[in-house]
Amino acid sequence: MFDKIIKENQFKTKCVIALYLLIFVFIGLLVDIVRMNASNFSEGIYRLLTFREFPIVTCVLLVIAALVVLFVIRNFKRILLSGNEYKEILYGKESNAQEREMSRILDELVEVANLSFRPKLFLMEAPFMNAFASGWNADNSLIAVTTTLVRNLTREELKAVMAHELSHIRHGDIRLTLMVGVLSNIMLLVVNYAVYLFLGNSREKGANLARAILLILQFILPLLTLVLQMFLSRSREYMADSGAAYLMGDNKPMIKALQKISGNYAQSDFSQSDTNPTRSALYIFSANELFSTHPSIENRIQALLRQ
């Protein structure tokens, strides 16, 4: 049952990524049509796709996206952990009983999952209960949990949270989320500025049509990217919840952990405590109810109960 759910969500995720790439390339082609002042829209698209006219803007956008992704890959740990005091729990060099217990939990999960790698483990000083995972591949993957989470969960609940984060790494969805985030930001920037480029009344019919589509996208694309990001992120969370229950052999610890974490946020406003917005989409729980990238706790629990 868990394998079926994971496969279904992975297929949905791939569909969203493919759609993102198509939109990204389409925007680049629209700007190229304006740049080349095409007299016919469809002919302009054909010439660009067949490289009879080199798609300069499209290729530049793809190169920029690749460079931004590369920068984030090389600096993701510093970017995500900044804003809070944190400590890496070095394997075999744990300084106290709490750290040794966390290491044992991670060892147990790695063994159950039959992994050939062990993510780095970080303890982050924070007044709220949360956790996240990151990493582009197995070699640089990490799991970070807050001190408040560790103090307030039982061993099995903490293990379920770490299993959830380990599942994110196993499923490879962190890479997909990273790429989508980069593509979304670049797309919105290009659409916002492209409509003001090459201004003038001497534009050909095809170029004017391309500019009109870009103008429409300026209003539609922010909502579209938000919906796609929400769909992708929510699929990720359902996948990781299922993966945690699968590794634990029981869905109850994950359910109890989610209830305690959401209860922690219901009691206090931590909006001023977490000064790093880059982590929000990666957290196991999001306190933002409106347009949240996470499914509601009620829906996540219902999904776990059905498994």
Catalytic-role residue among 165, 204, 237, 298 = 165
Given the structure tokens 């990720």, which residue do they identify?
236
Cβ neighbours around 192 below 10 Å, total? 14
- CB distance 70 to 122 below 8 Å: no
Distance CA 229, CA 270 (A): 23
Enclosing H/E stretch for 247:
helix 205-248
C-alpha 143: how far from chain center: 15
Q: Which residues pair with 116 in a beta bridge?
A: none
Pairing relation of β-strands 142-146 and 120-124? parallel
Any catalytic annotation for residue 298?
A: no
Distance CA 45, CA 185 (A): 24
Given the structure tokens 């290009």, which residue do they identify?
190
Supply the DSSP symbol for 228. Answer: H
Given the structure tokens 């759609």, which residue do they identify?
19
- CB distance 207 to 17 below 8 Å: no
Q: If we measure between CA atoms, which residue out of 66, 65, 86 comes closest to residue 77?
A: 86
φ, ψ of residue 60 to 5 degrees: the values are: -65, -40
User: What is the maximal distance between C-alpha atoms in the chain?
Assistant: 74
Residue positions annotated with a catalytic role = 165
